Structure 1
């Protein structure tokens, strides 16, 4: 599997990095690295969170792309994220177990890759970054589409909540959200776009799901 050209994205981000943006303390770019388990899996799953709030602290990191790929590999592919704690990774782990159990009856392996709707967050702070940082990183919307083309997930799960639907719509301008159960489409929605697999859903961030009964979703 050929790597994504993250370097050209980083180069453009650095060339447009201003003092105003620096004052808003953007994190570093989330650069994906698929594991061998994902590459060889019968069923490939990409799970999106919202954004990072401390991804190697403030942009740009002196180690550049090699460092960011290694950080992703060590954090996610080597499982350090699950000792990191927090409701997101607890929820992610439960979804992994559920899907592996479900497909084990068909003797199919399941591989996972982690992504975020917003690729550059705020250093040390939760929540979406400023408008200036969002505008600066618009190039990453096309990057996400390229990641989907390259990694070809069979299932996509957005654990981003309905308030991030506007950010998903910025990535896929033809996207639609529809009700799939007795729950409202704010709680659980099918996400449709020619650029997404048929099996794509969006639900709340696990922090909300744990409070509302995780397994009922």
Structure 2
């Protein structure tokens, strides 16, 4: 099986329990789960693989509010991210601005390497509208759709960047229970930027402020770049 077939197998094993429990809630409480897909050719030929995490989607694939199939969600992710068919206003998003910054800096630091980037979220299911997650939905996700560690293990990244902010550290620990957040500089608070140490994550793994926290993120981004490109 290629990597996408393995991904789909992970999702299919959990999908029935997840969908049955979500459908007991109001449709307005949740968007569709973020189902990953990779460009298999670019993935296999990459010298360096990078996974960048955000917090959660602000709505995702809802249309009439119903859950899509796994294949539909996978295809939409592939179209949006791998084929770069982005939504209107994509360029104004603080998260995607930060994503492009790291993309540029990592490529500049490795001009002779093939680099493959993937996008993920520490919470796979956001709200239908607005930011954050619904407590009932998050409880269901934790119980029936804890797939993040499996996604990371399958992707085998060389670099992981959590643009999730310190308030989401407990969510990182949910998936990587041995995660330690280690200060990187005596002049910078651990809540601003930290190395994340876990047996399930590569040596070059960091967590820093979400880029929507402009002042804080701008303060630490230079340090973050040095940690992942040095």
Does the alignment reach a TM-score above 0.5? yes
Go from structure 1 to structure 2 and tell me whether the alpha carbon gap of 1:59 and 1:147 turns closer, same or farther (over 3 Å shift): farther
Q: CA RMSD in A?
A: 2.0
User: Structure 1: any 5+ residue segments left out of the alignment?
Assistant: none
Go from structure 1 to structure 2 and tell me whether the alpha carbon gap of 1:213 and 1:24 turns closer, same or farther (over 3 Å shift): same
Find the aligned partners of 1:47 and 1:26 in 2 and give their Cα distance.
23
Partner of 1:158: 162
Q: CA shift at 1:209, angstroms?
A: 3.9
2:76 matches 1:75? no
Are the aligned partners of 2:56 and 2:122 in contact in 1 as well (CA < 8 Å)?
Answer: yes
Q: Paired residue for 1:123, among 125, 128, 131?
A: 128
Find the aligned partners of 1:201 and 1:15 in 2 and give their Cα distance.
35
Are the aligned partners of 2:18 and 2:145 in contact in 1 as well (CA < 8 Å)?
Answer: no
What TM-score comes out, normalization by structure 2 length? Answer: 0.85
Q: CA shift at 1:59, angstroms?
A: 6.0
Q: CA shift at 1:80, angstroms?
A: 3.0
Q: CA shift at 1:171, angstroms?
A: 1.1
2:204 matches 1:216? no
CA distances 1:113-164 after superposition (whole Å, capped 9, x unpaired) = 100000001011112x1221111111332x1111111110011000000010
Secondary structure in 2 matching 1:74: helix
Q: Paired residue for 1:102, among 101, 109, 125?
A: 109
Are the aligned partners of 2:37 and 2:78 in contact in 1 as well (CA < 8 Å)?
Answer: yes
Partner of 1:172: 176
Find the aligned partners of 1:201 and 1:109 in 2 and give their Cα distance.
21
Are the aligned partners of 2:194 and 2:206 in contact in 1 as well (CA < 8 Å)?
Answer: yes
Secondary structure in 1 matching 2:32: coil
Partner of 2:117: 112
User: Structure 2: any 5+ residue segments left out of the alignment?
Assistant: 224-230
Partner of 1:134: 138
